Amino acid sequence: MSGGKRTRYIRAPVLQGARPLIDRVEADSAHEVVRITNKGRIAQPLTGWILASLRGPYFFRFPRGTILPAGDNLLIHSGPEASTSSKRDLFWCRKRRWNSKGDVAVLFGMNGHEVDRHWYGQVGSNRSMRHIKLLFRREGVFEIQDWHPDLLEGRKTTMWGELDFS
Determine, yes or no, domain membership for 152.
Answer: no
* pLDDT over 90 (residue 16): yes
Residue 132 lies in a domain: no
Is residue 128 pLDDT above 90, yes or no?
Answer: no
Domain interval for residue 86: 20-121
Quickly state the pLDDT bin for 82 (edges 50, 70, 90): very high
pTM of structure:
0.79
Q: Is pLDDT above 60 for 53?
A: yes
Tell the burial category of 49 from Cβ atoms under 10 Å away from its Cβ (0-12, 13-18, 19+).
buried
Q: Is 5 part of any domain?
A: no
Half-sphere exposure of 39 (CA within 13 A, CB side): 7
Q: What is the CATH number of the domain that holds 58?
A: 2.60.40.1260
Confidence of residue 9 (pLDDT cuts 50, 70, 90): low
If one counts the domains in the chain, the total is 1
Domain annotation covers residue 142: no
- 41 part of a folded domain: yes
More confident residue, 72 or 143: 72
In a domain, 38, yes or no: yes
Q: With a cut of 50, say whether residue 106 has pLDDT above it.
A: yes
Q: Which amino acid is at 157?
A: T
The per-residue pLDDT of the chain, averaged, comes to 80
